[in-house]
Amino acid sequence: MGQALFAQASLPDFTELVEQASPAVVNISTRQKVPDRAVAGSGQLNAPDLEGLPPMFREFFERNIPQVPRNPGGGRQREAQSLGSGFIISADGYVLTNNHVIADADEIIVRLSDRSELEAKLVGTDPRSDVALLKVEGAGLPTVRLGKSEELKVGEWVLAIGSPFGFDHSVTAGIVSAKGRSLPNESYVPFIQTDVAINPGNSGGPLFNLAGEVVGINSQIFTRSGGFMGLSFAIPMSVAMDVADQLKTEGKVSRGWLGVVIQEVNKDLAESFGLDKPAGALVAQVLEDGPAAKGGLQVGD
């Protein structure tokens, strides 16, 4: 009995955090013109069939396709509506979300917690990190507090607020499962892995620590069926804010590069090089005239 009471007393209370942070979390919807050839004979676009897919990392399919009305000219006006989340990082209206939430959008609408809607301007986007920076007109807007993602610890409690399936300001919680995860085809982001329940519509929303600070942007899940399976991945705020600052000042993101292709050093390679244990990386290819080549790196280093 005593142990049960201790366990109950040690569980975190998220109520104050949610009350303070929710006003700065927004719902994001977009409109996009759809080419004529994308429309089937029924006049609708079909959502992808996710059943039976092999395990994979995937962005969320937020897109819902409404009935396609005919216009008086005889053609069709086709619009795809996308649904995602975001959060306000400055009182003058800068908003962070995922690139894949607003990709190819012709119009972006940001809905605040009081259900007011503002049209957003796309300041810039970075597909490689899946970060997008938006701007809405406003002053004195509610903002989130930004935390240091590098200080997160595995096992620490975290919380997400977003709009899964359009249910605004839904709150889910869990723990940090791992840090610095590399995902297939995602070489620019050391993802935070959590077991926080994330579903379509959460994408682009904030991941909070218990201090009420945003430490990540919920971005991807690992799934077989398309639904949540206990593995969610967030972009660390250290990465997201570096991207946002460059988008704000330069309109694009610049990155350094080495000009090499590397491979992991396994047990056999370690033994062949006389290493005590597998560590480091092996240079498998050096790109001609790249920085590494000019610096003297060679294949086999």
Degrees, nearest 5: CA angle 23-12-113: 10
d(CA 195, CA 175): 6
| Whether 195 is catalytic | no
Ramachandran assignment for 53, one of left (phi > 0), alpha (psi -120 to 50 degrees), beta (any other): beta
What is Dmax (Cα atoms) for the chain? 76
Which SS3 state, helix, strand or coil, does residue 134 take? Answer: strand
CA distance 9 to 295: 58
Indicate if 130 belongs to the active site.
yes
Q: Which of 29, 203, 219, 232 is catalytic?
A: 203
Alpha helices (H) along the chain: 2-10, 15-21, 99-102, 237-250, 267-272, 291-295
- The closest alpha carbon to 97, from 171, 1, 201, 3, belongs to 201
289 carries an active-site annotation = no
Active-site residue, selected from the candidate residues 130, 149, 177, 219: 130
Q: Match 């300041």 to its residue by tokens.
A: 123
- Active-site residue, selected from the candidate residues 29, 100, 163, 168: 100
Instruction: Give which of 255, 241, 246, 254 is closest to 96, Cα–Cα.
Output: 241
CA distances from 206 to 78, 161, 235, 259 (A): 31, 6, 10, 34
**Which residues make beta-bridge pairs with 172?**
160
Q: What whole-number distance in Å separates Cα of residue 131 and Cα of residue 134?
A: 10
8-state DSSP, 20 = H
Enzyme catalytic residues: 100, 130, 203
